[in-house]
Each structure stands twice: as structure tokens, then as C-alpha cells.
A and B are shown apart, each in its own frame.
Chain A
């Protein structure tokens, strides 16, 4: 099955690449916004997580912009902590559910959800309410607790991180949708799009002991990049992150940011937390490595208030 899938994907990708080259130019393949998306970034404020997503994805031309019929989709929320949804240490379950529904509407064959959690994974999946809401929308919730699920990949050009073991789902799916929640972070000062990838890999300890900020940026070099980042800024943990202690750490911001450029997404998220972008070191590093654009002034941003 895998070989057949691989062949299909390769042929499909080849044809798509060929077509893109003949219509547009080589540059279009690597540009931040996918063909068809009207904006580099859409920011929504004032609604519930699911309603804000409905509006935001519509502005980007619908989920069909990112997913082709019959594709397999990986949705990677933050499910790192054994904490209830109200304390906003994990991505909002309503948002995850609504994204899955849009994926299926756009013709996705299968939608998978997982995270390599920090706390006990069974408790995290359950108490974050993400397992239940994802399953109710028809997604497959997959464990990430064992090294046997991870496969080694190469990151050519990585300064500190040249190899990593990533979850097999990242390799087996066609589209990767990154759904982080914006939070304060005790050492990198903020966790959002790029830092959310720490839940895709097995050995996080290596990142921590080998220049965490550089490793975060290095992993963003890896070829499999998110087609879309949906940043959950509904309830935002502004201190004691990334785990939080109590509801005093949370500020209700009722916002959401959608973008294909995760460096831009992180830069915008930093503004929400009122932290100078330069202080979150992995953002300027990733910008300099050409992985995205942290200068928001140069981007075409659609801002919507509900």
C-alpha cells in the first residue's frame, strides 16, 4: 500500500509541480501564500473559536485552497498538558473540531490528530477535551507516546539540528495543518507556531540542551511545512506558561490568526503578547534563514472584527 501511495503521490506531485511551473513560475512553488489565497494573513477578533475560523478560512478562499480531494490531513494542535480547556494550556477543542469539519467538507480522505505530550498522554488527550471533540468530527486520534511511532529524518542546512525523529503521521499525510495555542513561555518567552513542532518530534531533550532557539528555527527548515497555521488566541496564557497554574494566568482575547507563513504568524502572535519580536530569538533566526517573513508591514493582512 505504501509503495502504491508513494507512487500516486509522486506522480500527483510531479504533475502539480509541472503544471505550476508551466502556468506560473518557479517562484510560485515556494511562496508563502498558496495559489488561490487572497491574503498572506487573516486575523479575526471578537467571536467564538469556531465562528472565527469559519470567517477566517472563508477569507482565505475556503479549506479547498489547502486541501485537495482524497488527501490525508494531519492536524497538530497543542495537547501538551493535563489541563482542562478553560485554563488554555492546550488548543481550544471547539476550534480543532471545526477545522476537522472543514477538512472533510473540502474532501479530505482522512484527518489525523496527535501530539507528543509533556504530561501523561492519556490524561492530556482526555482532559484537554480534544480527543472527544476530534473523534466526534470524524478524525482519527493517534497516540504519540512511544518511540516506535517516530522515524528519523534529515534536516539539511540545520545549524544545531540536522536529524530528528518525527511522528510517522507527518511523513504519511499529504497536508499538515498546524494549530498552536498562543502562550507565554518560561524560556523562549512565547510558544506558538514554530515551537508547536516540538510535539512532532520524539527527543525534545536534545533541543533543550543544544540551543533551544536555534533548534526550533532549524526544524522549520524541514521540507514538510504546514499548509496553514491556525493560531488559537481565544484564551491566552500571558504568564506562567506554557503550563499555567490557575485562571489568573489567562486573558480572554477572543482572537485568531490564520496564515501559511509561520514566521509571520509568530511575529503577529508576539504583538498580541506585547513582546518585542527580537526577544523571541527563534523568530529573527528563522527570518534570517529565509523561512518566512517577520516584517508584518510588508504583508497583505486582512483584519476582521466580528
Chain B
């Protein structure tokens, strides 16, 4: 097929996909229902693969669809479905507008050693130590962080500007949304990647995808056996080189009539640009091709698969050894464990499955989640952690558990979530206003949805908090509301393994409704 429609179809489809993902991440008013989110996320390769691994269900088989798609059509995933890839295409277009040089790509040799080493390293590190290389390199997660860290705040700024103008006219359709940032250090990783990917895509097209991206490399391997692919009509070709100039992957060696199919992302620019209709997309012609076996590549593939199967067993065995929950600490604000989001099950399980795409961080209506830096250690870098100094977990909410693409957060029904204990409350009497100032406060107990924090008689007419940690769910509302600075008088210490909280017992009040006015 030599129709220019191929490229147009790619552009139309990928634009739609990009807009959907953009809206998903900047949806600060939380208007997109979880069902739509899950449809969109189904085909994201790494999230789906991880979800499949922990769930073992075909409901998470999106990555298999991608594998089949790759065998059929080549790396079209990279051009049609990967939001980061589409974003890079957009940026390359901008680059081309800025300088002509940036849109003349030309054939380049592949970074064979680098990309296969990175793929192997990612697999090995993930199986043996933890998920952090995937966290760093998974294109979907990188895209998610770009949106959460940079695009969403920009959208909120625009919203606040408009809300301010509308407010002047007494219209309150839009409301002002405070732009709460994250700890400064957590911007480091997204910022470095933003510069790297932004720079590479501005000047060199899809170089990131063919150098660093483990998904790109893996699908590239698979696309070598793809059924539909780009091919040269050597008789028609005039060796003008236009195709190579326009190839974002720099993979067309037009002099030798060779297309490096492992790097081709299926953008079909070459098909459109070829005036001689010498490049076409169609069924592979096996007869013409001389088969040369590259033993080295075979070895890499074989070892990768072995590692994937073998080490996963070993690491599975290790994962069962999770840290035991700590006893309550009431001495000072001394958090033994971070609080991980509801649905995580345990910190260890969570750290294993989360790719830090930040979707839950941006979807949380209360914005209590923020990327971690040291809280989980290296194994959980950039993964979401509860910050109860910034906000608290809403009692009537399960949003983060519904949208997690990797199943690192399992879906929870509201009733189950209300009894899931993320952490336990601790009280530091020596910090408490009631003791230090001898005045009333009770901000903590007021906020507690289960009354795990309640008030008892203190000196004079004063009341002071007391705890019933058994019914505490670790939502952090008390810690958030506590007005003391710099240390809170009440705080939640995370449960390394989430526990079941006891249901609050409540009895009918003895106070009766007055029959006559009591005044």
C-alpha cells in the first residue's frame, strides 16, 4: 500500500489518543469516570504487563494485544498508542519549524549495544532488585509525570486566571484551584527527562525510542518477524533519499534499499514522501530476503527470556518476607513507616508493582498523594506517598484504587476502604495545645471520621484527645487539622502491611428530644 492515507490515519488516531491522555492527566476537576480511564489505559504496554503479572487475568491482557499487534504490523504501537511517542512527534514537528536542519534526519547506525543492554538491564534489575528502572524508563510513566508535574499546573494556572475573570462577573462555573506543588527534589527526575526527551525529539526525532526506551527495543525485536512492514520497490526507487531525510527513526538506508525494521515506528512519513511510490506497506516478501542468523542477538533474547522466567520465581519467593507491623509509638513525631495509598495491601507489594506514572497523584481529589523521594527508599523512588501535612485521605473516596493501571493499588469497595487501616494514629500530649496553652482545641477529634480520636475531661472545663487506634483507618485528617507547628501533636504512622480496622461501635444517645421549649 502506498496511499498517503496511512500517514493521515496515523496522525488522526494518535492525535485523538494524545488528547485523551492529556485530558486524563490534567483533569483537575475529576470529571472523567474511572471506567473511561481504564479503557484508555488497557493497551499501555508496561502497566498492562505488570497488572497481568500480579492479577494473572486476561482482563489485564492489553500488553498481549500489543504483542500481537506488533507481530502483525510492526512497532505501530510507538506511533499510534504511546502518548510519550506521540508527544515526541509533536515536538519534532515544532523542531522542524524552528530549524530546517532539525527535520532532516538521514540514516544513522543503530545504538545496538546500548539499547539491548538497557533492555536486559531493565529486565534483570526489575526481577532481582526492584521496579525503579521501569519507573525511570517506562514511556507511559514518563509521560504521566510530565503531565502531572508540568502540564497540570499550567492548566490550573489558566483555569485560575479564567475563574478570576468570571468571578468578577459573578459567574462561578470555574473555581479557583490552589496550585500545591510537590517537594522540590522530586522535580529532579521529571525535569532531567523532560530536558533529555525534549531535546532529543526536537532535533533527532525518535532517538530516545531507539536508544533508551525498553518498550521500543522489545517491540523492535518482535517487529523483526512482523507480517506487515515497509519495503522497497528497488526497480521504482530513484535513490533520491527523501525517505531517509524524513525518517524520524533514521532507519532507512536508501542506498542499500534496507529498512531497519526494529527501529521503524510505523509513522508512514516515508510512504507519503516518496514521489516514485517505491516504498510501500504490505505483506512481507520472504523469498527475496536472505536470512542471516545473528547468534549474539539470539543469545541476548534467550537470556532475557530465561531471566524473565527464572529470576521471577526466585524474587517471588523473596517477596513473601514482608516487614512486620510496628507497635504504636507515642513519644514524639517519629514516623517509622510512610503511609502508602489505600488498595496497596502492603508497602512491599506496592513498591514492587508501581511504575510511578503519577496518575493517582493527579486523580486524587484531595491531593494528599505526592511523589516520594526517600520515604520508601530507592525501591520506591517517585512512587506516591501520603503527605498528611499537605492534605488527608477523604473518607468517602476510592478513586486512586479504581484507576491504577498496574494494579499496584487494588480496587477497593467503599465499605472495605472505610475499614482499611493505612496507618495508626499517635498522640504527643506534650505538643498538644490543650496541655501547652491550656485552651480548647479539638481540631483532631473534630476531623476524625470514626472517632478513633475522641475527647476526655482534662483540667477544669477543658477536654483533651484520647485515642482508640483499633478503629483508626489512618486517613490523616487529624494530623492535617492539628494546628501545632513545626511538629504535630498527632500523627499517623504507616502500616507496612495494611490491616483491617475495627468497625466503630455506636449506641443510641440517652438525650431525648424536648417536648416543651427548654427556655
Contact = CB atoms under 8 A, between A and B. Distances in A.
Is this pair of chains taken from one and the same complex?
Answer: yes
B303 interface: no
Contacts of B439: 210-214
B88 to A, nearest CB: 35
| 5 interchain residue pairs of minimum CB distance | A187-B442, A143-B175, A205-B483, A146-B176, A209-B483
A75 to B, nearest CB: 15
A140 B170 contact: yes
A271 B394 contact: no
Given A120-B365, A252-B513, A188 B449 contact: no
B448 interface: yes
A251 B511 CA distance: 8
Contacts of A68: none
B519 A271 contact: yes
A281 to B, nearest CB: 7
Contacts of A189: 463
B513 to A, nearest CB: 4
Interface residues of A, number: 60
A43, A240, A281: which has the most chain B beta carbons within 10 Å?
Answer: A240
Nearest to A303: B517
A208 B441 contact: yes
Contact of A146 (B178, B442, B463, B508): B178
B517 A118 contact: no
B481 to A, nearest CB: 8
A236 B512 CA distance: 10
A268 B519 contact: yes
Interface string A144-183: 0111110000000000000000000000000000000000
- In this complex, the interface size class of chain B, counting residues with CB under 8 Å from chain A, is 35 or more
Contact of B440 (A120, A142, A187): A187
B57 interface: no
A145 B178 contact: yes
Contact of A245 (B396, B442, B450): B450
11 contacts: A45-B517, A82-B395, A118-B447, A120-B394, A186-B454, A187-B445, A209-B483, A213-B440, A240-B451, A248-B508, A249-B509
B508 to A, nearest CB: 5
A248 B506 contact: yes
Contact of B461 (A248, A268, A279): A279
Contacts of A253: 513-514
A248 B508 CA distance: 4
Question: Interface residues of A: mostly helix, strand, loop or mixed?
Answer: mixed
Interface in B176-234: 176-178
Given A123-B396, A186-B442, A212-B441, A246 B506 contact: yes
A251 B510 CA distance: 9
A127 B394 CA distance: 13
A268 B517 CA distance: 9
A94 interface: no
Looking at A43, A140, A186, A271, which has the most chain B CB atoms within 10 Å of its CB? A186
B514 A272 contact: yes
B504 A245 contact: yes
Nearest to A267: B519
A133 interface: no
Contacts of B441: 187, 208-209, 212
A273 interface: yes
Interface in B460-519: 461, 463, 481, 483-484, 504, 506-509, 511-514, 517-519
Nearest to A304: B517
Interface string A257-301: 000000000011001111000010100000000000000100001
Given A186-B455, A187-B445, A245-B504, A251 B512 contact: yes
Interface string A201-237: 0001110111111100000000000000000000010
A146 B177 contact: yes
A243 B433 contact: no
A76 interface: no
B394 A251 contact: no
Contacts of A239: 509, 511
A44 to B, nearest CB: 10
B246 to A, nearest CB: 48
Contacts of A209: 433, 437, 441, 483-484
Interface in B324-362: none
Contacts of A205: 443, 481, 483
A118 B446 CA distance: 10
Interface string A95-121: 000000000000000100000001110
A214 B438 CA distance: 12
A149 B176 contact: yes
A74 to B, nearest CB: 13
B509 A248 contact: yes
Interface in B34-85: none
A235 to B, nearest CB: 10
Contact of B442 (A82, A147, A188): A188
B396 A238 contact: no
Nearest to A273: B511
B172 interface: yes
A5 to B, nearest CB: 12
A243 B446 contact: yes
